[in-house]
Amino acid sequence: MKNYRELVSEVTRLLDEFQEDKQCIDNFTQDAAKDLKNHSSADQKFIIDTLYGCIMSKKLLDVVVNIFYMHHGQILFRVDRNLFIVVCYLAMFHLEDLGLEHFSRIIKSLDISKMHKFLSFFFNVSNLTTHIQREWSHIYDAAVVDNNWITPLLRWCSEIEVLLDQLARKMGRGNLPKKSPRKNTEPREFDLTRPKARPLPAPEVIPQQDKSKPASTSHNSQISKGTRDSG
């Protein structure tokens, strides 16, 4: 799996095509998989699993990207919305699995300016603990939000600053002081669906058919643990 930009673009394209009110997620992802035969099995897995996760996590991801556009919408294109959705999903649900090295490779394969702007917003302590946390708490219990997303994301902030500095240098923003990661980060096997030590709930239940599912059942089994009606 080398061309991360192409893979993310494929996920973004499929998200653009998906119509939530008219299409079943299982049928859509299975049909999409049939058109990916020219990709390796690992690439197919990344595309389908990420697509599935973005659709399943739509409510939480929409909160982040909506607020992001409220802050920077005057200089952003709406056509890039699903690109930010994909990056947000990977950061929220798979940063621990990917490790900083793999995550950084994905980010650096994309538009550097856009990624710098989005990650600077998303991994900003003030943004996480005010606007984003408040809106997520309308979907989940406040304790679930804090334990499963806010606290883990805050732990990554210092390491993401290192990545942001690298992006800034590539953008030609002078010689910024180099920061050392707070902890040693070792490359991990690139597997979006391997079991996690701390599984996270999915934001909503989508009825499943008796077909093979591209996303792990452990991801969906936690959904009932913190959900509440968003009103």
Supply the range of the domain harboring residue 60.
4-225
Structure tokens at 44: 């197919």
Cβ atoms of residues 179 and 165 within 8 Å: yes
Q: Could you tell me if residue 231 is inside a domain?
A: no
For 43-94, what is each residue's pLDDT tens digit?
999 999 999 999 999 999 999 999 999 988 677 888 999 999 999 999 999 9
Q: Could you tell me if residue 98 is inside a domain?
A: yes
Helix axes 151-170, 81-93, angle to 10 degrees: 130
Q: Could you tell me if residue 28 is inside a domain?
A: yes
Q: Could you tell me if residue 230 is inside a domain?
A: no
For 90-110, what is each residue's pLDDT tens digit?
999 999 999 999 999 999 999
The verdict on pTM exceeding 0.85 is no
Cβ atoms of residues 109 and 3 within 8 Å: yes
Distances (CA, A) of 87 to 34, 102, 124, 156, 220: 24, 13, 15, 15, 20
Separate counts of helices (H) and strands (E) for the chain: 12, 0
What is the number of structural domains in the chain?
Answer: 1
Q: Could you tell me if residue 90 is inside a domain?
A: yes
